[in-house]
Amino acid sequence: MITLESIDFKSLIAKETNGRMRVRLMALSHIKDGANNTQTARNLHISRRIVNDWVKRFYEKVLMV
């Protein structure tokens, strides 16, 4: 099963060329490092709702695998 802890976000972020995807990966990396959704949103200057949606989608896809 894939979990946040099993993913090396730093290397994925370094390889990613799509800016929007980089921000999504950075958000998940912040969550992995212990930040909550509000802190992550503040750090990345995006809305908390967007972070909530990204985290929710991540877990939905993980549970489908």
Q: pLDDT tens across 5-63, in order? A: 889 999 999 999 999 999 999 999 999 999 999 999 999 999 999 999 999 999 888 87
What confidence score (pLDDT) does residue 5 get? Answer: 87
Which pTM value belongs to this model?
0.88
What confidence score (pLDDT) does residue 42 get? Answer: 97
Q: Does the pLDDT value for residue 3 go beyond 90?
A: no
Asked if residues 7 and 32 have their Cβ atoms less than 8 Å apart, the reply is yes
What confidence score (pLDDT) does residue 65 get? Answer: 59
